[in-house]
């Protein structure tokens, strides 16, 4: 399966999901798939590097180890980011009424399908 097919599958498996992307921890997008753009994926990529850095600093300061997953839930949408490896993340954007639990599960089970490609 190509990255594009994997991202499409992730979106289709989660009620309320509208887009998914693979991005580097530096914020540079590798691949994206969207049926609807609740937010600019380019902007998400640009802001992701700061979010990833800040979450990892907080996790380290709290003695939690590496932050493998984190999410932002807002009035407009939810964003779940799951670590593929130390340099890449898989992100899923979900409408407010979407199934966030299923989104987390889908990301957790999708990462092993692509992690060897990185």
| pTM, two decimal places | 0.91
At 39 the pLDDT is: 83
Phi, psi torsion values for 87, nearest 5 degrees: -115, -10
Predicted pLDDT of residue 41: 79
Instruction: Indicate the burial class of 40 (C-beta count within 10 angstroms; 0-12, 13-18, 19 or more).
Output: exposed
Q: What is the mean pLDDT of each run of 10 residues along the chain (118 residues)?
A: 93 97 91 89 84 91 93 93 94 96 97 91
pLDDT at 47: 86
pLDDT of residue 46: 84
Q: What is the pLDDT of residue 83?
A: 95
**Which residues neighbour 102 within 8 Å (Cβ) at sequence distance 6 or greater?**
13, 14, 15
Domain total of the chain: 1
How much is the pLDDT for 70? 92
The pair of structure tokens assigned to 86 is: 């130390």
Q: What is the pLDDT of residue 105?
A: 98
Q: What is the pLDDT of residue 74?
A: 92
Identify the domain containing residue 102 by its residue range: 3-117
b/e sequence 76-111, b meaning 16+ C-beta within 10 Å: ebbbbbbbbeeebbbbbbbeeebbbebbbebbeebb
Query: Which CATH number goes with the domain that contains 34?
Result: 3.30.450.30
What is the per-residue pLDDT for 45?
Answer: 83
């Amino acid at each position: 399966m190509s990255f594009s097919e994997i991202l499409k599958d992730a979106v289709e498996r989660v009620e309320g999901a509208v887009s998914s992307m693979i991005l580097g921890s530096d914020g540079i997008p590798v691949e994206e798939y969207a049926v609807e753009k609740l937010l600019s994926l380019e902007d998400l990529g640009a802001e992701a590097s700061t979010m990833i850095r800040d979450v990892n600093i907080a996790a380290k300061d709290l003695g939690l180890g590496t932050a493998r997953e984190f999410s932002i839930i807002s009035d407009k949408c939810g964003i779940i980011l799951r670590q593929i490896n130390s340099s890449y993340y898989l992100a899923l954007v979900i409408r407010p009424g979407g199934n966030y639990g299923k989104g987390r599960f889908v990301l957790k089970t999708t990462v092993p399908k692509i992690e060897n490609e990185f």
